[in-house]
Structures are given as structure tokens and as C-alpha cells.
Amino acid sequence: MARTLAMFTDVSLCIGCRACQVACKQWNELPVEEPEWTGTYQNHSNFTDKTYRLVRFIEKKDEKNQLQWHLMSDVCKHCAQAGCLEACPTGAIYRTQYGTVNINQDICNGCRYCVSACPFGVVAFNHDTGHANKCTFCNDRIHNGLGPACAKACPTESIQFGFRDELAAKAQKRVVTLREMGYKNAQLYGEDQKGPLGGLNAFFLLLDRPSVYGLPEKPKLPQNNVFVDSLLSIGSAIVVGIGAVVAFRERGGKGDI
């Protein structure tokens, strides 16, 4: 496997210009969608089958009741342990040699299991094509040394693309700097490869708790449940099976009733 590639999004540098969102749309030839009123500048409220990059505009009051704006360019996390990939019954969702997670559109049959298995609500179903869609890290571009369109377009380098180990080192320094500057809640999300989901290949530097940005505090791999759920099912099968054996073995016959 080649060296893992990653995307590091530093929300402290995001100015909410949405160049990333537009660049993603343009490169991936994603059609326009009806805008929706979300209460902020954010459009849309969540990822769709035609929006793989999404700038979140989050309004939150601080301790002094002052309104704060949190801006964050969100994207598929390309999890090291990916719920969508494990769920996919067809093998359409696969891991590339760079560690990213892609959906092979020629194999996907539109069962939508990946949609409900993503802990981040990223994967979306396209009713026109009958396939599931999500960010590919611009698979065609990275195989040609171009880097994803969103990272290329970002004017503030809030989105950085490169080798995971190098980006992680950079992110760790940056979080220390921000804390020294007074951002006491600054934290990395998904950078730790020993953390939830084995680390995220699109990781973030956040200025507040993950839940403020709509991210789960401790995302879990849904497939971790399969073993325990199966054991309990086997237990239940044994119990109801014994019940049936007892019912058909009990004494009593045609003459008794």
C-alpha cells in the first residue's frame, strides 16, 4: 500500500468563502440544487448526492452571550475503519492504495445500506442514477498528482492535502499554537490513528467540542455490533427452539382433547 494521503481542515483559518464547495461541484460536474433556507448562510443543511463538500456556518453563543460564528468545511472522513465500506454488500465501496474510500459506480446497486451505516451522514443516494455518492478525494486528480479540487481552491489553506503523517505533525503544532493564543478548546478531531474508527483520513482542527460542529464526540464503527447481536440472536434461537421441542414432545395425544 502506498503512503496514506490525507486532508487536514483547520477551521480556524476558514473564512466561509465556499470556494471549496464550488470547486468540488465544478470538478466533479455535480449539478445545481435548489437552495434551502437553513437559518444561516449554510447551504445545504447536509451533504447530498450532489454536494460532497459543505461549508457549515454554525452560530453559537459564548459564555458572555456573544454570538460566535464557527465555520467549517466538512467532507467525507475517509475513515480508516469505514462503516460504509464494511456495510456495502456488493464490494462497490473499496479502499484505494492511498487509504481513501471510494464507491465504484459500476458496481453499486443502490441498496442504500452504506447511507445508514455512515456515522457522519456523508453518503447520499442519487435517485436519478440509483447509486450512492460521496467525496472521492478527487480520485482522478490525486492519481495524477493534482490534489483534490477543494484543497487547491482554498485561499486560506484551511484545507491542506498531503501525506497523512506530515499533515498530522503539522496539525499537532498548530493546535499547540492556537491554545497558546487563547483558544482553549482547540482540539484535533480524527487525527489520532489509535482513536475512534482508527483515525480519519480527513481530519480536522476544531475550535470547540465536536458536537458544536455536528460531529459525533466518539464515532463508532456500526459493524462492531455484529458479533454481539449475532450471539444474542443465536441465544434467542436456542431458547425458542427448545420451546418448540418441548411443545411437540409433551405428552398428550389425539385422544386427550
CB of 183 to other proteins, least distance (A): 22
Instruction: Say how far apart CA 19 and CA 221 lie, in whole Å.
Output: 32
Give me the half-sphere count of Cα atoms (radius 13 Å) on the Cβ side of residue 91.
Answer: 0
Contact status: 104 vs other proteins (CB under 8 A): yes
Query: Binder to other proteins among 57, 94, 163, 183 (CB under 8 A)?
Result: 94
112-131: contacts with other proteins (CB under 8 A): 112-113, 115-127, 129-131
Query: Binder to other proteins among 35, 39, 182, 253 (CB under 8 A)?
Result: 253
Contact status: 109 vs other proteins (CB under 8 A): yes
Judged by beta carbon, residue 12 or residue 102, the one nearer other proteins is 102
Residue 23 corresponds to which amino acid? A
72-91: contacts with other proteins (CB under 8 A): 81, 83, 85-91
> Between 24 and 53, how does the x/- string for binding to other proteins read (CB under 8 A)?
---------------------xxx------
194-233: contacts with other proteins (CB under 8 A): 210-211, 214-217, 220, 222-223, 225-226, 228-230, 232-233
Contact status: 243 vs other proteins (CB under 8 A): yes
